[in-house]
Amino acid sequence: MKKLLLIIVIIALSGVQAFAGPVLKLGSTTSTENSGLFDYLLPIFKQQTGITVHVIAVGTGAAIELGKRGDVDAVLCHAKSLELQAVKEGYFVDRHDVMYNDFIVVGPPNDPARIAQASSALEAMKRIAQSGQLFVSRGDHSGTDIKEKSLWKQLGLMPKGAAYMEASQGMGGTLRIASEKRAYTLTDRGTFLSMQDKLDLKILYQGDPALFNQYGVMAVNPQKHNFVRFKAAETFVKWMISLDGQATIAKYKDRHGNVLFFPNAK
């Protein structure tokens, strides 16, 4: 009798899974998650394809590692050099540019380091470093963290000691810490705009082409990991770069009417 009940339960659970339709595990950045994009985008994707997407939001570096290990089926992130390297190494296939926004430098409204008067992103970062004001870094090998570190490297200078704090958190958590400590930080525009009503921070530097922020999407190579879900990953990539997917991204705005991401798939 117990064996019969067990068999019935297994069959019932299998039926639920089958009824639920295909599932895709997506590794992505905290910036896309914190911005609210997925809450808007994924129900539309599911309606059109029947595929349910489960998002694991981490830093870009961690998202790529999840894909390398086969813990996710596709990745959407924003560190193009890392993405292309992972494709070259054979871990991913079908990588495409999908959308962009930009990085901005935010900080306390009174701007004690006077970065609003800077003529470039590097000068803005230099003013922060030389002022002794606190800079909060994500410190998590995310796309934002990689961009920040590249700016310090180009500058040959960065804040020292107590003036530099690594949050080791996602973009939302890093922004909250910067707000509480009246500090500066580098952020993607989308996450900041989606949270700005809850932060005591102001956009103080923006507009340098060096702060361009490209997002890419790619599927895990099925030859590395024999996924039964590769079809779903392939469908997601194709939809994101399709006319429907790109139009859906373009329509997403925050509650103030700001466009947070601009589609640019080719």
Q: For 140-196, write each residue's pLDDT tens digit.
A: 888 899 999 999 999 999 999 999 999 998 899 999 999 999 999 999 998 999 899
* Integer angstrom CA distances of residue 124 from 56, 79, 147: 33, 22, 14
Q: What pLDDT, on a 0 to 100 scale, did the predictor assign at position 227?
A: 66
Q: What is the pLDDT of residues 11-34, one digit of tens each?
A: 343 443 434 578 999 999 988 888
Q: What pLDDT, on a 0 to 100 scale, did the predictor assign at position 204?
A: 98
Residue ranges in 75-227 assigned as alpha helix (H): 80-88, 121-131, 143-155, 171-181, 189-195
The Cα 82–Cα 80 span in angstroms is 5
Q: What pLDDT, on a 0 to 100 scale, did the predictor assign at position 31?
A: 84
Q: Which residues of 38-51 are buried (b: 16+ CB within 10 A; e: fewer)?
A: beebbeebeeebeb
- Percent of the chain, pLDDT > 90? 79
Q: What is the pLDDT of residues 65-96, one digit of tens each?
A: 999 999 999 999 999 999 999 999 999 999 99
What sign for the dihedral angle of Cα 47, 48, 54, 59? negative
Q: Which domains does the chain have, with CATH numbers?
A: 22-100+214-263 (3.40.190.10), 102-211 (3.40.190.10)
pTM flag (> 0.95): no
